[in-house]
Amino acid sequence: MSKITEQIWIGTYADSYNEEFLERNKITHILCCARDFTQLPDQLEKDHYIYYRIPIVEEPVGKKKFNAWFKKGAAKLNQWVSEDHNVLVHCYAGISRSVSVVITYFILYKGMSFNDAYKKVKKHRRKMSPYEEFIPVLKDFEKVDRKTRKLRQ
């Protein structure tokens, strides 16, 4: 489990049902970034946690699909953080899919470059390693965000 910001943690599937950890860190919202885990683990009391899943896979399904998944995950993360919730973002191992969603969040909602977002997550989550097919998609978010920022000025 890695604390990335005051409100965002990245972890593994096993971390998502570690109720002691979740309670200690006041984590109430769980963003699952994997197709395999369709619901909140049975061990957790359902009324204590909000669970949302983006069915991301590490298979060559195309940039368009990855783009949609990452944007959806980042939007949900932004919503919850904006509402002042503590959030665990996880996939199976907390190495690629969850990391990619958090990087997307930093690029699209915090105005970071890909490199800065990558370094920020890497500083706290040393074992991260996004799937190689995710990298071009993540870098494209930076280009889109730069264009959007220019339009807003």
Distance of alpha carbon 129 from alpha carbon 108, whole angstroms:
20
- For residue 14, pLDDT over 80 is answered with yes
Q: Please pick, among 74, 91, 102, 107, the residue that the annotation labels catalytic.
A: 91
118 belongs to a structural domain? yes
Amino acid identity of residue 18, one-letter, is N
Question: What's the whole-number mean pLDDT along residues 134-139?
Answer: 96
Is 152 part of any domain?
Answer: no
Average predicted confidence (pLDDT) for the chain: 90
121 in a domain, yes or no? yes
Structure confidence at residue 17 (pLDDT) = 87
What is the average pLDDT across 101-107? 97
| Per-residue pLDDT reduced to its tens digit, 48-88 | 888 899 999 988 888 999 999 999 999 999 999 999 999 99
**pLDDT above 60: residue 145:** no
CATH number, residue 33: 3.90.190.10
Is residue 91 annotated as part of the catalytic site, yes or no?
yes
Question: In total, how many domains does the chain have?
Answer: 1
pLDDT at 46: 64
Q: What is the 3-state secondary structure (H, E, C) of the chain?
A: CEECCCCEEEECCHHHHCHHHHHHCCEEEEEECCCCCCCCCCCCCHHHCEEEECCCCCCCCCHHHHHHHHHHHHHHHHHHHHCCCEEEEECCCCCCHHHHHHHHHHHHHHCCCHHHHHHHHHHHCCCCCCCCCCHHHHHHHHHHHHHHHHHHC
Can you give the residue range of the structural domain that contains 68?
2-147
